[in-house]
Amino acid sequence: MVNKSDHEIVPVHEILKLKEVNELLESKNLRLENLPKIFESDPQCKKLGAKPGHVIKIHRNDNGNQYLYYRVVVEG
């Protein structure tokens, strides 16, 4: 069966290391709750084994505009 999350138009997701999370929050003057959220049950979270509290880094590409997006994993 085809795994949809491996499709080329699905952006690359990765779990951010604790140190990187702290740097991110520090540099953007944020608390963890301020980040957009992603469910633990999201296919990408399942694939990465992300648990609530982890921050996911998403390498987005919109029509050639490459940028990073961050989401904090929440229960659900």
Does 55 bind another protein (CB under 8 A)? Our answer is no
- Residue closer to another protein (CB basis): 37 or 40: 37
What is the Cβ-side half-sphere exposure of residue 26, based on CA atoms within 13 angstroms?
A: 6
Instruction: Confirm or reject binding of residue 19 to another protein (CB under 8 A).
Output: no
Can you tell me whether residue 28 is helix, strand or coil? helix
Region at 63 (left for phi over 0; alpha for psi -120 to 50; beta for the rest): left
* Interface with another protein, residue 54, by CB under 8 A: no
Give the interface with another protein as residue ranges (CB under 8 A).
27-31, 33-36, 60, 62, 65, 67-70
